[in-house]
Amino acid sequence: MLHPAWWTIDPCARFQLGPRIFPGRIWTASGCFAYGLTGHDMTSDDVASPYSGLGAVVTKTVTPLPRSGNPMPRLVETPHGALNSIGLENVGFEAFLAEVLPELEERGVPTVVSLAATNPGEFGAMAARLQECAGPLGCWHGVELNLSCPNVAEGGHDFGKDPRTVAQCVAAARSHLPDRALLAKLTPNVADIAGLARAAAEAGADAVSAVNTFVGLEVDLATGKPILPRRFGGYSGPALLPLALAKVDEIVSRTGVPVVGAGGIATAEDALKFFALGAVAVQVGTAQMRDPFTAARIARDLGKQG
């Protein structure tokens, strides 16, 4: 059952994405697994570690300067998903380079570094500095440009909706990253996500990640006001699956650009649906928060050994 006839890939085998060989196709999504586990050792009865079989951990998005994020509450469960307005809390790019990335390398965690910035120049500068500082690292496989986080006031939201801006950001980063995979993470809150994907690919992205969260809102019935102080948050989790599948299908079938799928994946079956549509890899987000072994179990269930 977990290996239907049409399914021939081993997602725990190495595969090439752009200039880089990744150790597998089951990844964790940015913001849902921090910089990998920090401070915790984790065990389970059935999987050796939360990293077993994973192709990459996409790190929490880092920005040029540290950010403390949005006011609380910034994470709300809804019956079928979650709304977050974390606001890109992160240690900042320099601390990330100095402390986080070396530690990921030391622990042997395959890493994709998620970056956000407010203009193409900043993206370029971060990419250049990454290449300069982290060039020799073996576990750093690529960069994902977060062009779509709906929680940042300064431009973040509409930023990634314009294909030209997407292209500029990708081009700026690409020029400094000759030997790493470059991914553009797209917002689904547009009429034409395929257009964004095409723009990203033409500017040099090796793949696009789709999707980031949908704009959502939850009301506190006691007050009649939105629960999140900024009203809107990013909707993620199981409710998203059919929406994310549609966006991925739109990109794959209209553009042929390689897609790393994300949105609502919690089980091997969910992941299979993205692969069925032609996704080259998948990311586990919200479900990884519920259980740090989710992605590793998906890798085990779908792997040839599974």
Partner 1 sequence: MNTPDPLPGAYQGIGRVTANRPVSSGLIRMDLVLARPLDFSPGQFAMLNLAGPSGMVFSRPFSILAADGQDVSFLYRVVGRGTAAFADLGPGAPVSFLGPLGRPFPARTPGQRAVLLAGGVGLPPLHDWLARHGRPGDLACFGAREGHDVPWNLLDERWTVCVEDPDGLDGHPAVTGLVTAPVAGPELPRGRDRILLLSCGPRLLLRAAADLAAAQDWECWLSLEEHMGCGYGVCKGCVVQVRVPGIPGSGPGSRNATCCQEGPVFRAEDLIWT
153 belongs to the binding site for its own copies (CB under 8 A): no
Among 101, 173, 262, 266, binds partner 1 (CB under 8 A): 266
Q: DSSP for 90-146, please give it.
A: B--HHHIIIIIHHHHHHTT--EEEEE--SSHHHHHHHHHHHHHHHTT-SSEEEEEEE
Among 238, 258, 261, 303, binds its own copies (CB under 8 A): 238
149 belongs to the binding site for ligand FMN (CB under 6 A): yes
Short-list 257, 244, 225, 254, CA closest to 284: 244
Q: DSSP for 232-295, please give it.
A: EEEEESGGGHHHHHHHHHHHHHHH---EEEESS--SHHHHHHHHHTT-SEEEE-HHHHH-TTHH
CA-CA-CA-CA torsion sign (162, 168, 170, 173): negative
Q: Site residues for ligand FMN, window 238-267 (CB under 6 A)?
A: 240, 262-265
Q: Site residues for ligand FMN, window 153-182 (CB under 6 A)?
A: none
Contacts 24+ apart (CB under 8 A), 43-50: 44/293, 46/293, 46/297, 46/300, 47/293, 47/296, 47/297, 47/300, 48/296, 49/296, 50/292, 50/293, 50/295, 50/296
67 belongs to the binding site for ligand FMN (CB under 6 A): no
Among 86, 145, 201, 281, binds partner 1 (CB under 8 A): 86
List residues with catalytic annotation.
149
Q: Are the C-beta atoms of 49 and 42 separated by less than 8 Å?
A: yes
* C-alpha–C-alpha distance, residues 215 and 61, integer Å: 18
100 belongs to the binding site for ligand FMN (CB under 6 A): no
Among 73, 229, 278, 306, binds partner 1 (CB under 8 A): 73
In whole angstroms, the minimum distance from the beta carbon of 69 to its own copies comes to: 20
Among 9, 44, 246, 291, binds its own copies (CB under 8 A): 246
156 belongs to the binding site for partner 1 (CB under 8 A): no
Decide which of partner 1, ligand FMN, its own copies, none touches 191; Cβ closer than 5 to 8 Å per partner kind: its own copies
Q: Are the C-beta atoms of 123 and 56 separated by less than 8 Å?
A: no
Q: Which listed range, 37-45, 49-57, 134-142, 233-241, lies at the site for its own copies (CB under 8 A)?
A: 233-241
70 belongs to the binding site for ligand FMN (CB under 6 A): no
CB within 8 A of 89, min separation 6: which ones? 67, 68, 69, 70
Among 47, 57, 86, 100, binds ligand FMN (CB under 6 A): 86
**In the complex with partner 1, which residue's Cβ is closer, 23 or 73?**
73
In whole angstroms, the minimum distance from the beta carbon of 238 to its own copies comes to: 6
Q: Which listed range, 1-9, 117-125, 154-162, 281-289, lies at the site for ligand FMN (CB under 6 A)?
A: 281-289
**In the complex with its own copies, which residue's Cβ is closer, 67 or 161?**
161
In whole angstroms, the minimum distance from the beta carbon of 112 to its own copies comes to: 25
Q: Are the C-beta atoms of 227 and 70 separated by less than 8 Å?
A: no
Residue ranges in contact with its own copies by CB under 8 A: 4, 6-7, 78-81, 83, 161, 189-191, 214-219, 221-226, 231-232, 235, 238-243, 245-246, 249-250, 253, 269, 272-273, 276-277
